[in-house]
Amino acid sequence: MSDKKIRLKILRQDSPTKAKRWEEFDVEWHPRMNVISALMEVQRNPVTVDGTKVAPVVWESSCLEEVCGACTMIVNGRVRQSCTALIDQVSPNGEPITLAPMTKFPLVRDLIVDRSRMFHDLQKVKAWITLDGSHELGPGPRQAPENQEEAYPLSRCMTCGCCLEACPQVNDSSNFIGPAAINQVRLFNLHPSGKMHATERLEAVMGEGGVADCGKAQNCVEVCPKEIPLVDSIAQVSRATTKHMLFGWLLK
């Protein structure tokens, strides 16, 4: 048994209307430990470093292998999934680890925020193929392997919210839709059948809060856990909207 301890500093809030507070917890170190397993220890024994028994910390999680996007939070000041935040990497010399909820979404409790706006944005940009039906209609259109190689990385977006959290243009005084939804416009406009409705998607990201609101800070691509080329996606969609704005009426 090791007596090495990990200190967690957690920003807590009981509900959106209550005050924020920091609480600190010590938990025992284990090999291969991640932030989630440290939080699980706190859940089992919710006592702060000064010996006060408190309500267990709550957070959102599901897959614990960075494919679902649920456990996103701010670890040591950086937005990321907490399941892949290995303790030995975020606290190599036993430094305290700070955990805080994302700030660009309404708070629910402790480390849980409400990201439903991201799912609404997917509706807004019509991030789907308009299918004739799920009945048998034979194979889909043939696609070159290169097309798949371009689409697949874009399609790995987990709607986790890291890119929105890091984007300076996403804030209380802006309606900027953010990189995730714009990337979906590129993805579906690439697809042979998706292309047929490309204009609708482009129009959804034109105007206020659309792709033109991007400030080119490029933070999104830095924090994306799936290394999605978000800056490229924004540039491509931006060019397509400009083209559509200038020449779209000619094609009508």
Question: CB of 52 within 8 A of CB of 63?
Answer: no
| 144: contact with another protein by CB under 8 A | yes
- C-alpha gyration radius of the chain: 21
37 forms part of the interface with another protein (CB under 8 A): yes
Provide long-range contacts, Cβ within 8 A and 24+ apart, for 39-48: 39/8, 39/82, 39/99, 42/8, 42/10, 48/23, 48/24
**Given the rule CB under 8 A, which of 4-12, 95-103, 153-161, 244-252 is the region that contacts another protein?**
153-161
Coil/strand/helix, residue 95: coil
Minimum CB–partner distance for residue 10 and another protein (Å): 15
- Number of residues in contact with another protein, rule: CB under 8 A? 72
The interaxial angle of helices 179-190 and 230-251, nearest 10 deg, is 60
**Near another protein in 173-232, by CB under 8 A:** 188, 191, 193-194
Short-list 77, 103, 102, CA closest to 90: 77
Q: Does 158 bind another protein (CB under 8 A)?
A: yes
75 lies in the site for another protein, by CB under 8 A: no
Which of 148, 215, 216, 217 lies at the binding interface for another protein (CB under 8 A)?
148
- Give the nearer residue to another protein in terms of CB position, either 45 or 103: 45
Whether 79 contacts 57, CB under 8 Å: no
Find the binding residues for another protein in span 102-131 (CB under 8 A): 108-110, 112, 114-116, 119, 122-123, 126-131
